[in-house]
Structure 1
């Protein structure tokens, strides 16, 4: 289903909610494949570009999955976890939160939907008790790395996953803390 950018910009038409039992893991997986296809075309094989529905379900089980819907159309997603467990040696402080599978329907890029999902991820991570967000992405995806840097993320190390074909840059952002009232 094609949705115009103007429709997505309208706050009345796009709804953000938790992924639920009535939602389709297969449709979510297809959204991820579409959203990450440009990386594959550039030679960067993100896991989300080829993961199976079973892989998607496994990744969903590790956190809270949020989706953005325009009517019945799935147009974006992000999964968050806090605190997030990382593999031994991964350059991240203990207790930090993370998010993954941040994806926007390719026809909806430039509408602010990615920023809205990023803000949601950061807000949920803070609500779950973490004061830092740690993520990683392909070091070769310079536009994406720059996008995160403009939003306050700074490189803190590198990592190599066995399900991708690139080295990742690990990025961290300190979240604002609120003083107790």
Structure 2
């Protein structure tokens, strides 16, 4: 049985980084230089600072992850700096466990966190070429709201966002 929870101090950043590498490997092979394709454990930890990392575990094995970030003061993606918009990054499910609903569970954790924190939207981005991911997010209620060209990336990213069910947000 797979369970979701917050990443804890006793969890392994190295194991989490290995999961990211496995999950992003096919995107890397397609020529998309996502940071998670080859980032170090130090980069994983740095990216987690200031956010809320959720993981999916089966027994003691980390099989999925997502990082929810509060609204940024400054960011190359202007949408992530909008008042009331939180963002998710480092979203990954181990290829061996994809298609089992783990990604949906992790997104729900992030959405609940964002709602409780008073955010009105949850946003994300992914490469335009990753149409399977864009379609997955669209099925879960995420809509295209813009684009961003991250420095050093060989692709342009689609920015997607979902309005959250925050009290008073009709």
What's the TM-score once normalised by structure 1's chain length?
Answer: 0.86
Task: List runs of 5+ in structure 2 lacking aligned partners.
Answer: none
Q: Aligned pair count?
A: 168
* Number of the residue aligned with 2:35: 47
Alignment of 1:55-134 (within 5 A): 55-87=43-75, 90-92=78-80, 93-134=82-123
Give the SS at the match of 1:91: helix
Larger deviation, residues 14-23 vs 52-61: 14-23
| CA distances 1:20-48 after superposition (whole Å, capped 9, x unpaired) | 11111111001000001111111111111
Task: List runs of 5+ in structure 1 lacking aligned partners.
Answer: 1-12
Report deviation, 1:15: 2.2
Equivalent pair of 1:160/1:166 in contact (CA under 8 Å)? yes
Equivalent pair of 1:84/1:95 in contact (CA under 8 Å)? no
Distance 1:86-1:115 versus aligned 2 partners, 3 A rule: farther
Distance 1:79 1:89 in 2: 16
Distance 1:54 1:71 in 2: 25
Give the SS at the match of 2:62: strand
Which of structures 1 and 2 has the bigger CA Rg? Answer: 1
Give the SS at the match of 2:78: coil
RMSD: 1.7
Distance 1:89-1:21 versus aligned 2 partners, 3 A rule: closer
Equivalent pair of 2:53/2:67 in contact (CA under 8 Å)? yes
Distance 2:155 2:76 in 1: 19
What's the TM-score once normalised by structure 2's chain length?
Answer: 0.92
Equivalent pair of 1:34/1:106 in contact (CA under 8 Å)? yes
* Number of the residue aligned with 2:21: 33
Distance 1:113 1:136 in 2: 19
